[in-house]
């Protein structure tokens, strides 16, 4: 067995691998970029080597530097995790040439499945069903356009060398094809260094079901059941579960047989995933093979009791899979939710900045947290914005759904915007409880998922309580006399009840509440309704409130004038109105701003040009994804304040825009 391995990755997956290696008694070596010097995976590893500046191409994608670090450290093997170099055949071959074991499949297997076009041709030969489409070598825009026309719209443009939703576009109309193809090519080139594309018939409401396979060097290949990964945004998974609900035993058997045939066709080794699209009639089609560990592997670990990272290492060391694996049975049900720093209400734009507070639910045999982030860490524009994965297990799906709902309600992320409340909405939908799953789930339920829900009377009362308790703490920390009745925020009056008007905003809704202070309680007048409330706020932000005869737990994290309330899976921004008004008045008018820090990839049009509503004006790249800034209405661009290749901060006015007179 290896005595030392290097992990060629960062964040959550690097920490995950280190934990298993530590359990196996293996010394670990981390690599890190300049901005990751203080990252969790660096602190957890036994040794660490800096490999370059922040951009991934200069650090985590520089195979030569990683191999050099492995040789300096004396590591015998390299685990690539997922993403970065995990499916890079040249890197796998370079490891072997350097005398290092690549903890993954042979380079030939990666090559066979690395190009989606070639992979689909190979799978068709092996008898695995594939989606109709064009997977050829001719990549001219005219050829791809003609192939799309022949297939019939809608079509899916997909990066041949990619994954994770990058370089992928759905095209519904012929006239949209050229622009979407250009954008997909730019995105694929930036993420994978390869802009080859394939075109497929777009199946409008399929399920995304994948089979976990494992193979060794002794001729053994088994399936470790399936996962449903249909809940996606921007073609990227956000909720996964195992097993896939509602599949018949015969369908499962056919999918497992096809997956094993796919793996054997390329003489596979280690952990891999065969991804299928499953239509409503029960037909399934090969989509791609991921020749690596999947982000969602923990749900498979929960229902099998196996540690897949451990077995990746054992197989790479030459060990055979246990005979009893062929007798494994599904145990219970597991669900994973990916917590990202992103804003669902603004097209899931990534959110960058410092994670000021991070509260996870307690881990247990039923709940697992995989994370590489802790409070005080920065979500950078350079890498994927994942904060953590919440994984739950129970004896059946309804029980697992309940556990996930509770886990999300007990999660709090402040400092950056997260998708946690959005995921809680998904889990709470009747359609999710009934397992009405397909890749269009979010779009189909967008009315419920993106609707603005007014805070309840209880939530408003809790927000007011948190704000008043924060003000009490502020005064108590002042250098002025804290015992003076004139220096306490309780509206003290001689020979009269202490009353005041509290003026604040909750998610932009302006409120003025009448507050009467009692000895230990507050009487709030909310829209003419009286609410009696009391409570306390701990140093770590835990807010214990008693509202009438009911107790409520929440988190209230305070800033200078803006605060965050997390309560029952919902997140509210609580603002003291003085700052809220100042912020509103300071916003520039007539300009379109960068929604996040990033690189300006393309600038369209000229100064003074007239544009139509929705027309693309600037394309930015951040966190390996492209984001298009479009004209908000018909109008005219009066000035461009950026150029292709510029790195810009969030909020920079990219162009000045003058709306058309009405």
Say if residue 564's pLDDT is above 80.
yes
Say if residue 503's pLDDT is above 60.
yes
Contact (CB, 8 A) for 188 and 163: no
Q: What is the DSSP letter of 10?
A: -
Say if residue 473's pLDDT is above 90.
no
Selected catalytic residue, list 292, 314, 405, 568:
292
Residues constituting the chain? 662
Average pLDDT over residues 113-137: 85
Say if residue 114's pLDDT is above 50.
yes
Tell me, yes or no, if the pTM score tops 0.85: no
- Over the stretch 155-175, which tens digit does the pLDDT of each residue have? 999 998 876 678 899 999 999
- pLDDT of 164 reads 67
Residue 520: band (very low, low, confident or very high) from pLDDT cuts 50, 70, 90: confident
Average pLDDT over residues 72-95: 97
**51 SS3 class:** strand
Say if residue 481's pLDDT is above 70.
no
397 is catalytic: no
- Over the stretch 634-646, which tens digit does the pLDDT of each residue have? 889 999 999 988 8
Tell me the CA distances in angstroms from 575 to 371, 481, 504, 506, one per residue in order.
Answer: 30, 27, 6, 7
- Over the stretch 194-222, which tens digit does the pLDDT of each residue have? 899 999 888 878 999 999 999 999 999 99
Say if residue 307's pLDDT is above 90.
yes
Say if residue 185's pLDDT is above 50.
yes
Question: Which of 347, 345, 344, 380 has its CA nearest to residue 647?
Answer: 380
Tell me the CA distances in angstroms from 419 to 42, 339, 349, 382, one per residue in order.
Answer: 26, 6, 10, 19
- pLDDT of 400 reads 98
- pLDDT of 201 reads 86
Residues of the chain with pLDDT > 70: what percent?
94
Angstrom distance (rounded) from CA 190 to CA 626: 10
């Amino acid at each position: 067995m290896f005595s030392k391995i290097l992990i060629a990755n960062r964040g959550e997956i690097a920490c995950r691998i280190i934990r298993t290696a530590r359990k196996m008694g293996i010394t670990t070596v981390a690599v890190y970029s300049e901005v990751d010097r203080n990252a969790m995976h660096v602190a957890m590893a036994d040794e660490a080597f800096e490999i370059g500046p922040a951009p991934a191409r200069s650090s985590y994608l520089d195979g030569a530097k990683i191999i050099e670090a492995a040789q300096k450290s004396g590591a015998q093997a390299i685990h690539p995790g997922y993403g970065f170099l995990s499916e890079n055949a040249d890197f796998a071959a370079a490891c072997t040439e350097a005398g290092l074991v690549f903890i993954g499949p042979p380079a030939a297997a990666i090559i066979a499945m690395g190009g989606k076009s070639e992979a689909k041709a190979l799978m068709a030969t092996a008898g695995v069903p594939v989606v109709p489409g064009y997977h050829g070598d001719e990549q001219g825009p005219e050829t791809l356009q003609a192939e799309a026309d022949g297939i019939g719209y809608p079509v899916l443009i997909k990066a041949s060398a990619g994954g994770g939703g990058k370089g992928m576009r759905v095209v519904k109309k012929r006239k949209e094809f050229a622009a979407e193809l250009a954008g997909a090519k730019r995105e694929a080139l930036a993420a994978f260094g390869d802009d080859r594309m394939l075109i497929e018939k777009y199946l409008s409401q399929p399920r995304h079901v994948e089979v976990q396979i494992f193979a060794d060097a002794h001729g053994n290949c088994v399936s470790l059941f399936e996962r449903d990964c249909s809940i996606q945004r921007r073609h990227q998974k956000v909720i996964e579960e195992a097993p896939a609900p509602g599949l018949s035993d015969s369908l499962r058997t056919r999918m497992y047989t096809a997956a094993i045939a796919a793996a054997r066709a390329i003489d596979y080794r280690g952990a891999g995933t065969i991804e299928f699209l499953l239509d409503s009639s029960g037909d399934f089609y090969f989509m791609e093979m991921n020749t690596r560990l999947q982000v969602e592997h923990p749900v498979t670990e929960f229902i099998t009791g196996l540690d897949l990272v451990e077995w990746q290492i054992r197989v790479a060391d030459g060990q055979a899979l246990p005979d009893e694996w062929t007798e494994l049975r599904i145990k219970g049900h597991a669900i994973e939710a990916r917590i990202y720093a992103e804003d669902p209400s603004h097209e899931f734009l990534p959110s960058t900045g410092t994670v000021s507070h991070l509260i996870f639910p307690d881990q247990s045999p039923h709940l697992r947290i995989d994370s590489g982030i802790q409070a005080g860490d920065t979500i950078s524009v350079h890498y994927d914005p994942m904060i953590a994965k919440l994984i739950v297990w129970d004896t059946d799906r309804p029980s697992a759904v309940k556990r996930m709902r509770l886990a999300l309600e007990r999660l709090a992320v402040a400092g950056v915007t997260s998708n946690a409340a959005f995921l809680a909405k998904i889990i709470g939908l009747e359609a999710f409880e009934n397992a009405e799953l397909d890749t269009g789930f979010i779009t189909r339920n967008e009315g419920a998922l993106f609707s603005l829900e007014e805070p309840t009377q209880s939530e408003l009362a809790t927000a007011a309580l948190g704000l008043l308790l924060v003000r009490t703490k502020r005064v108590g920390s002042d250098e002025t006399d804290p015992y003076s009745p004139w220096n306490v925020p309780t509206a003290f009056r001689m020979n009269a009840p202490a009353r005041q008007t509290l003026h604040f905003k909750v998610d932009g809704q302006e409120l003025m509440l009448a507050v009467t202070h009692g000895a230990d309680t507050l009487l709030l007048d909310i829209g003419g309704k009286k609410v009696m409330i009391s409570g306390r706020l701990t140093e770590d932000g835990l807010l214990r409130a008693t509202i009438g005869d009911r107790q409520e737990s929440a988190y209230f994290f305070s800033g200078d004038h803006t605060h965050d309330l997390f309560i029952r899976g919902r997140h509210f921004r609580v603002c003291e109105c003085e700052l809220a008004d100042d912020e509103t008045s300071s916003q520039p008018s007539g300009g379109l701003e960068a929604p996040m820090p990033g690189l300006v990839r393309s600038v369209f049009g000229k100064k003074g040009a007239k544009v139509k509503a929705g027309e693309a004006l600037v394309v930015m790249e951040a966190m390996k994804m492209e984001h298009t800034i479009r004209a908000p209405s018909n109008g005219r661009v009066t000035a461009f304040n950026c150029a292709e290749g510029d790195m810009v901060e969030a909020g920079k006015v990219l162009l000045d825009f003058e709306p058309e007179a009405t």
